[in-house]
Structure formats: structure tokens, C-alpha cells
Chain A
Amino acid sequence: MTDMLSILAQHGYVLIFVVLLAEAGGLPFPASIALVAAGAGVASHALWGPSVVFVAIIALLLGDSVQFFLGRYMGWALLGFLCRVSMNPETCILRSAESFYKRGKVTLVISKFIPGVNSMAAPLAGSMKMRFAQFLRLDFLGALLYVSAYLTLGYLSRDFLAATLRSIHLAGRVMEIIVAAALVVYIAYRIVQACKYREYKVVPRVQVQELAARLTSDYPAKVMIVDVRSHGYYDIGAERIKGSIRIEPNNLEVEIKNLPREKDIYLYCT
């Protein structure tokens, strides 16, 4: 605990700024833990409370604003990217947009407390063309709530934190074993996945030039170009390859009935 407080006293404001900026920028940084530690630092007079609040809120607003403007200028592509890890990207995009439209204001205020939602709220607000002044106002409220909550927790539980840190030291060995086991499980999972995909026949890949040349000779009798992007159909002015059709990946079972078996099917995404 003494070590931690000494680090906080020396580099506390910079550390808080960097960690909170990184987290607001979408990186997996433990901002809440940094704030709890800062709260303990305030309780032991290593840091000055109002400065911590100021630095933390500026970092959060800065990171969130970058995300907001990324969402504004990238349109739905950013949400599409964030939804790629979802089991069903199409549903993820539609549900996120509808849910945020209904509860967007409240979501912005509480989003920082909800892992996953915190990285999507600001870009969603940008994609959905929320006014920046309104976004900033709501985001400020959210940041103030978030920073105050964790600083207060750290401030009130300084003694508990010291005890916890001692326990964490003891539990360190156990954690190492758990992390190593998780790593082994993850590697095994990746190997199983790789073997599973090896069972499929390899799908031939064609270069753009090759297909373009084919289009001038065979098109459209033997060729069908299919757009399988899970986003790209949300922004006015969106483009696709000339003559292509869209197949929604999640609706494949239905769409497959209309595909011609006599044609070569060329798939593309973003």
C-alpha cells in the first residue's frame, strides 16, 4: 500500500489521465481500479481530490469525444466493426441502434459502469447524429458520476484496500496458475477451430483483376457477385460492386433457395 501511494504521489495525475484516456478510447484499461486507488491516495493526502476529478473528467471527455467523431464520420461501419465479435452482427447492429435510440440519454450517463456498453455508447451517439453539445452534456454527467463513485469507494475503503492488497499479494501465485490455465484452454480452442476449418474444402480466392476480366466475357450468364457485408446498407450513398446482389448472412437458409446453381458465385465483404 505504501509503495502504491508513493507512486500515486509522484505520478498520480499523469497515470490517471493516461489510464482513463485509454479506457475512454476503447482500450481495455482498468480505469475503475485506477480511480479506486486514486481515492485511497486522496484519503492519505497523496493526491488532491478536486485535481483528480478534473484530470479524470477531462481524460474521459477527450477519449469519448474522439470516439464520438469516429462514429460520426465512419457512420455505421464503426458499429459494424464493434459488432463483428458478436454471434450475430446484423442483430447486434439493429438492436444496439434501436435500444440506444430509445434509451440513449440514460445510456450515456450510466454506460461507463457497464463493460462493453461503455465502448459503444460514444460512437453510437456519433453514428446516430446526436448533437455534440448534447452528447458532451450527457457524457460529462456520466463521467462525473463514474469518477465520483469510484473515488468515493477508494476514499472510504482505504484500510480495506490495504488489507486487500496484502491478500492479492498472497493470491498472486493462484492467479498466475489461473491465467496459465486460461491460456492453455484458449490455445487448445484455437487449435480445435483451425482443425475444424481444415476439414472444409478450401474456398478458392480470386483477385479483382481476374474477376473483372471474367465479367467482360461471361457476365452475367455464368457469374453472380454477392455482397455479404453485415453492414454497408445503413448509410445513404452507400456503394456496392456494380451488378451485385445482397445476401444477409443471417438469412442464408432462406436466401440459398434463390441462388442459381449454374452460376459461379463470387462473395465479397468490406
Chain B
Amino acid sequence: MAHILREKGFNTFVIVGGLTAWRKAGEPLESVPKDDLVKLPTFS
């Protein structure tokens, strides 16, 4: 995806380690807004 965005002319970077590294570094997180959550079916 980063490659595609670069090809389209966007100045794109990739965060090394992703969310896991961000969390480990103690940087701020937020809950995913309820409206953004995708509801998948459950048996309960």
C-alpha cells in the first residue's frame, strides 16, 4: 500500500514496528470510535 501511495505521488512513510512498537514506547493511543467498529456476528 505504501508503494502504491508513493507511486501516486504521496509522501509516504512506514512506522517501524507498527502499533506494537508505538504501544511499547508508551505513546498515546485511543479507542477505536464505535462508529468505526465493524460488527461481526457472535454466538453469544
Complex Cα–Cα for A237 and B4 (A): 31
For B42, what are the chain A residues with a Cβ–Cβ distance below 8 Å?
Answer: 101, 128-129
How many chain A residues touch B (Cβ–Cβ < 8 Å)? 55
Most chain A CB atoms below 10 A, which of B9, B14, B40? B40
The distance in angstroms between the C-alpha atoms of A74 and B11, with both chains bound, is 34
Cα A246 to Cα B38 with chains together (Å): 12
Q: In residues 217-264 of chain A, which contact B (Cβ within 8 Å)? A: 225, 227-229, 232-234, 236-243, 246-247, 249, 252, 256, 259, 261, 263-264
Closest chain A CB from B36 CB (angstroms): 6
Q: Is the CB of A265 within 8 A of B32?
A: no
Assess whether A261 is in contact with B36, with CB atoms less than 8 Å apart: no
Q: Contact check, A238 vs B19: say whether CB atoms are below 8 A apart.
A: no
Q: Which residues of B contact A (CB under 8 A)?
A: 1-25, 27-32, 36-38, 40-44
Instruction: Return 22 A-B CB contacts under 8 Å, by A number.
Output: A94-B40, A97-B41, A101-B43, A128-B43, A205-B13, A205-B15, A205-B16, A208-B22, A208-B24, A209-B25, A232-B32, A238-B31, A238-B32, A241-B30, A242-B27, A264-B11, A265-B11, A265-B13, A267-B1, A267-B13, A267-B15, A270-B19
8 interchain residue pairs of minimum CB distance: A101-B41, A242-B28, A268-B15, A129-B44, A203-B2, A97-B40, A130-B43, A239-B29
What residues of chain A have their CB less than 8 Å away from a CB belonging to chain B?
76, 93-94, 97-98, 101, 104, 125, 128-131, 134, 197, 200-201, 203-209, 211-212, 225, 227-229, 232-234, 236-243, 246-247, 249, 252, 256, 259, 261, 263-270
